[in-house]
Amino acid sequence: MDKKSYRVRNWGEYNKTLKQRGSITVWFNEETVSQWAAKKEMKRGRPKIYSEIAIEACVVMRVLFNLPYRQCEGFVGDLLKMMALDMKVPSYTQICRRQTTLEIKLKHTVNTNEPIHVVVDATGLKIFGEGEWKVRQHGYTKRRMWRKLHVGIDVKTKQFVMMELTDNHVGENKKLQDLLKQYEGSIDKVGGDKGYDSYDCHEMVGNLGAKSAILLQRKAKERKPLREGETPLVRDNIVRRMNEVGRDQWKEEEQYHKRSLVENAFFRYKTIFGDTLKSIRIESQKIEALVACNILNKFTEMGMPISYAK
């Protein structure tokens, strides 16, 4: 079967959006300037010099421009000088230390008053590589270290509406509940691959009043026979429907192909920010990944291509 080719319907508009993403117009709004210094608090210990907003601004610059901490300090410092702002820049040690304590939320423009179709998946992000000296002395290790980025994408807007970073040993089905709890609005349908195929995941989606579009294993069978007066299991209903119409027809009915949107989101993430987390501690890595998702949501808000099959 020949692979379909696609064309972009709004190329002129999308082309302008791509150029806008590279624009380096930077400004500090009045709120940021007025709240750059930390408020004085009647607490014991050394008082903070810079506010949470100041540290967050530095972290955003670091993630967006792929800067080490020292270069981030120099970059933000030059921005303040060029804009003639009488503000000091946090040192790289302060940015590194306070990044772990930032309270940042996932920002998106999805209308929470309307139910959404969300697709979930996870991908791996490396945290350090095999150094040349270490490989030469000891060889490659069998246990490579990485983190797992669990996300949920709104099918309509293609924005991240839920995300979490965990160790590599945490399975996708173990984090689905935590992901779904992050979204404040209602969910109409949840799509996912076979990594989420467990009775707990299907029932979890059903308890939210949503429809499960999670793909089943090839040899999936019913667990509980259908009896009058009893509520059937969500997964058993999918098994029966697949037996009636076939696996391919079920995928078409439930729009399972929409799951490719989350794979495209991972591709954009790794293309722009790379596949390696630059922070050392997991607390900082979580903030780094969250900031990257917020930046991608802003890029998506600017405009996305509208494609169609030729």
Three-state DSSP state, 243? helix
Nearest to 206 by CA among 234, 176, 244, 164: 234
Could you give the CA distance from residue 179 to residue 18 in angstroms, rounded to a whole number? 30
pLDDT at res. 116: 95
Q: What is the mean pLDDT of each run of 10 residues along the chain (310 residues)?
A: 66 73 73 83 71 93 92 92 90 93 93 94 82 56 76 95 93 92 94 93 94 92 82 91 93 93 94 91 94 94 71
The domain ranges of the chain are 23-99, 116-280
5-24: b or e for each residue (b if 16 or more CB lie within 10 Å)? eeeeeeeeebeebeeeeeee
Instruction: Tokens 């607390």: give the residue.
Output: 283
CA atoms within 13 A on the CB side of 51: 14
Do 188 and 156 contact (CB within 8 A), yes or no? no
pLDDT at res. 213: 95
Number of helices (H), then strands (E), in the chain: 12, 7
